[in-house]
């Protein structure tokens, strides 16, 4: 007997949408076929909805413990669930303490126990002086490590210079894990910022952290990867110019992948100037031409993953100050992924397949998360049912499940509706609202 059967939904198979039923037993897909026979404890009419796998977001900041007035796992994961995300990986900074030791990891796990509405993993941090924490963190189950090549904006998480990175990368290579890098060259940024220190607009912010800073830092990371054998990820790539450097490295045999974020595909520096500090991030939002070039790149298979880089803060850190002085981070976890689906259309199959690959399949493969990322037999029954709207809807701040009703996407138009989101066969959210059930999300350590 099935626990649940979802009837009459459309899934992508090969190069077409196919109508199927989904049979779920013990939180996994037990049968996927056009007409499941047999009994079940419950049955749901999918009403011809599109069905996509639960998304896997490898880049979020929930700031717990220590800064839950910024976000916290309860509200952050609730918003993730409403977005169709079934697994997320939290970065090691902006919480107190930063996740740079096993003690800090255990403190975090105790603080967030039974608080997440989606499954999750945790990144370990690389900072000056924690070289001996790398192997213990790997054994404790972190999915990889994160380092900043430029000051992070947080004194609790210092950036790493070339020497620190080299030493850390030799150690990380021995664990088999990956180092994710915020790749901006501080020398290039400092030089550009000095010329613009008296200016305040989003255009000036873009100019103060030029694409050349990303290119320079990425080249350094590649050199160190070649030397140490450490696999690397360049996170939140903002411009297609960086991709040519990464593609050249791949041809040299470097184990390197690149991530971009929804905001670099949905927003430009003009939008940032209009929206204000809620659209401030680093690297900055770029020109429309650069956004279009990045968009072309994702459909040319030059990008490996898409992550939200959800980085919230209290309203007072965004208000009453210049664009330069405001906290840098976009709170976009609830609408970034749905807006990408809306932008590229459920009926344009090559495009929606690309979004599914970058947001679901590839991120799961990157961290060896074999139970997630696809609608397939024996995988976790994580999925989202989606309907296209007859007319566009406008995102309103009151719909946000995050701690603060602030987002760069408020006012954006969307033409789809996420009807329901399911985690391991359990209904978690419906019509953008969280069900009144206890959080079911669990910590999934890295599996070697």
CATH number at residue 394: 2.30.40.10
Number of structural domains found in the chain: 2
**For residue range 387-425, what is the model confidence (pLDDT) as tens digits?**
999 899 999 999 999 999 999 999 999 999 999 999 999
What integer pLDDT is reported at residue 436 of this predicted model? 79
Domain's final residue, options 366, 392, 414: 366
* Cα–Cα nearest to 355, from 52, 75, 96: 52
Mean pLDDT, rounded, for 18-34: 98
Crossing angle between the packed helical segments 240-251 and 211-228, to the nearest 10 degrees:
20
What integer pLDDT is reported at residue 90 of this predicted model? 99
Is residue 308 located within the same domain as residue 425? Answer: no
Q: How confident is the model at residue 15 (pLDDT cuts 50, 70, 90)?
A: confident
What integer pLDDT is reported at residue 39 of this predicted model? 93
- The answer to whether residue 341 sits within a structural domain is yes
Is residue 356 located within the same domain as residue 403? Answer: no
**For residue range 198-236, what is the model confidence (pLDDT) as tens digits?**
567 899 899 999 999 999 999 999 999 999 999 999 999
- The answer to whether residue 445 sits within a structural domain is no
Q: How confident is the model at residue 347 (pLDDT cuts 50, 70, 90)?
A: confident
CA distances from 144 to 125, 132, 137, 179, 306 (A): 9, 15, 9, 6, 17
What integer pLDDT is reported at residue 201 of this predicted model? 84
> What are 439's two structure tokens?
């959080």
Mean pLDDT, rounded, for 289-302: 97
Is residue 38 located within the same domain as residue 63? Answer: no
C-alpha to C-alpha distance for 441 and 425, rounded to whole angstroms: 12
pLDDT > 70: percent of the chain: 99
Helix, strand, or coil here: 423?
strand
Is residue 65 located within the same domain as residue 97? Answer: yes
Contact 102, 140 (CB under 8 A): yes
* Cα–Cα nearest to 128, from 152, 96, 95: 152
pTM above 0.85, yes or no: yes
Q: How confident is the model at residue 38 (pLDDT cuts 50, 70, 90)?
A: confident
C-alpha to C-alpha distance for 168 and 82, rounded to whole angstroms: 37
Q: Is the peptide bond before 232 cis (omega within 30 degrees of 0)?
A: no
Is residue 313 located within the same domain as residue 391? Answer: no
C-alpha to C-alpha distance for 136 and 142, rounded to whole angstroms: 10
Q: Across the strands, what pairs with 11?
A: 18
What integer pLDDT is reported at residue 199 of this predicted model? 61
Mean pLDDT, rounded, for 108-115: 98
C-alpha to C-alpha distance for 150 and 190, rounded to whole angstroms: 10
Q: Which helix (H) or strand (E) holds 28?
A: strand 28-33
Is residue 183 located within the same domain as residue 264? Answer: yes
More confident residue, 200 or 178: 178
What integer pLDDT is reported at residue 346 of this predicted model? 87
Is residue 188 located within the same domain as residue 278? Answer: yes
Domain's final residue, options 366, 388, 421: 366
Domain coverage including residue 282: 54-366
- The answer to whether residue 444 sits within a structural domain is no
> What are 206's two structure tokens?
């873009």
Is residue 312 located within the same domain as residue 296? Answer: yes
Give the mean pLDDT of the chain. 96
What integer pLDDT is reported at residue 191 of this predicted model? 87
Domain's final residue, options 344, 366, 388: 366
Mean pLDDT, rounded, for 53-82: 98
Q: Across the strands, what pairs with 119?
A: 87
Neighbours of 176 (CB within 10 A): 12
C-alpha to C-alpha distance for 3 and 27, rounded to whole angstroms: 8
pLDDT at 116 over 70: yes
Contact 444, 315 (CB under 8 A): no
C-alpha to C-alpha distance for 280 and 209, rounded to whole angstroms: 12
Is residue 29 located within the same domain as residue 135? Answer: no
- The answer to whether residue 373 sits within a structural domain is no
Helix, strand, or coil here: 67?
coil
- The answer to whether residue 411 sits within a structural domain is yes
pLDDT at 110 over 90: yes
Contact 63, 93 (CB under 8 A): no
- The answer to whether residue 191 sits within a structural domain is yes
Is residue 117 located within the same domain as residue 85? Answer: yes
CATH of the domain at 347: 3.20.20.140
Is residue 61 located within the same domain as residue 39? Answer: no
Q: Across the strands, what pairs with 52?
A: 384
Q: Across the strands, what pairs with 16?
A: 13
Rg from Cα positions in the chain: 21
- The answer to whether residue 152 sits within a structural domain is yes
What integer pLDDT is reported at residue 345 of this predicted model? 87
pLDDT at 196 over 70: no
Is residue 220 located within the same domain as residue 314? Answer: yes
- The answer to whether residue 201 sits within a structural domain is yes
pLDDT at 386 over 70: yes
């Amino acid at each position: 007997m099935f626990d649940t059967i979802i009837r009459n939904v459309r899934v992508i198979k090969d190069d077409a949408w196919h109508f199927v039923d989904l049979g779920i037993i013990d939180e996994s897909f037990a049968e996927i076929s056009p007409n499941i026979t047999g009994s079940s404890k419950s049955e749901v009419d999918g009403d011809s909805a599109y069905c996509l796998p639960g998304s896997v977001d490898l880049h979020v900041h929930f700031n717990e413990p220590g800064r839950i007035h910024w976000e916290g796992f309860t509200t952050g994961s609730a918003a993730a669930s409403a977005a169709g995300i079934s697994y997320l990986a939290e970065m090691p900074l902006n919480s107190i303490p930063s996740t740079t030791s096993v003690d800090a990891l255990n403190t975090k796990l105790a603080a967030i126990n039974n608080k997440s509405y989606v499954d999750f993993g945790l990144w370990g941090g690389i900072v000056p002086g924690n070289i001996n924490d790398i192997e213990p963190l790997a054994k404790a189950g972190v999915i990889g490590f994160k380092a900043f090549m430029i000051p992070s904006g947080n004194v609790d998480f210092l950036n790493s210079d070339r020497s620190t990175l080299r030493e850390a990368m030799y150690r990380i290579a021995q664990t088999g894990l990956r180092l994710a890098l915020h790749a901006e060259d501080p020398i290039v940024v400092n030089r550009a910022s000095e010329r613009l220190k008296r200016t305040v607009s989003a255009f000036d912010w873009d100019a103060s952290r030029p694409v050349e800073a990303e290119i320079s830092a990425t080249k350094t990371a590649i050199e160190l990867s070649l030397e140490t054998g450490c696999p690397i990820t360049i996170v939140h790539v903002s411009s297609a110019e960086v991709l040519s450097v990464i593609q050249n490295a791949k041809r040299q045999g470097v184990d390197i992948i690149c991530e971009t974020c929804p905001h670099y595909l949905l927003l430009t520096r003009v939008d940032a100037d209009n929206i204000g500090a809620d659209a401030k991030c680093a690297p900055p939002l770029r020109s429309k031409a650069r956004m279009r070039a990045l968009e072309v790149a994702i459909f040319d298979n030059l990008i490996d993953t898409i992550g939200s880089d959800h980085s919230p803060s209290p309203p007072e850190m965004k208000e009453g100050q210049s664009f330069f002085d405001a906290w840098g981070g976009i709170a976009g976890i609830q609408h970034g992924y749905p807006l990408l689906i809306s932008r590229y259309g459920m009926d344009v199959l090559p495009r929606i397949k690309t979004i599914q690959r970058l947001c679901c399949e590839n991120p799961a493969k990157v961290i060896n998360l074999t139970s997630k990322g696809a609608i397939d037999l024996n995988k976790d029954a994580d999925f989202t049912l989606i309907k296209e709207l007859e007319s566009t809807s406008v995102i309103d701040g009151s719909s946000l499940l995050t701690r603060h009703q602030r987002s760069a996407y408020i006012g954006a138009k969307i033409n789809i509706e996420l009807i329901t989101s399911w985690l391991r066969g359990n209904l978690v959210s419906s019509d953008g609202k969280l069900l009144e059930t206890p959080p079911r999300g669990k910590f999934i350590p890295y599996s070697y």
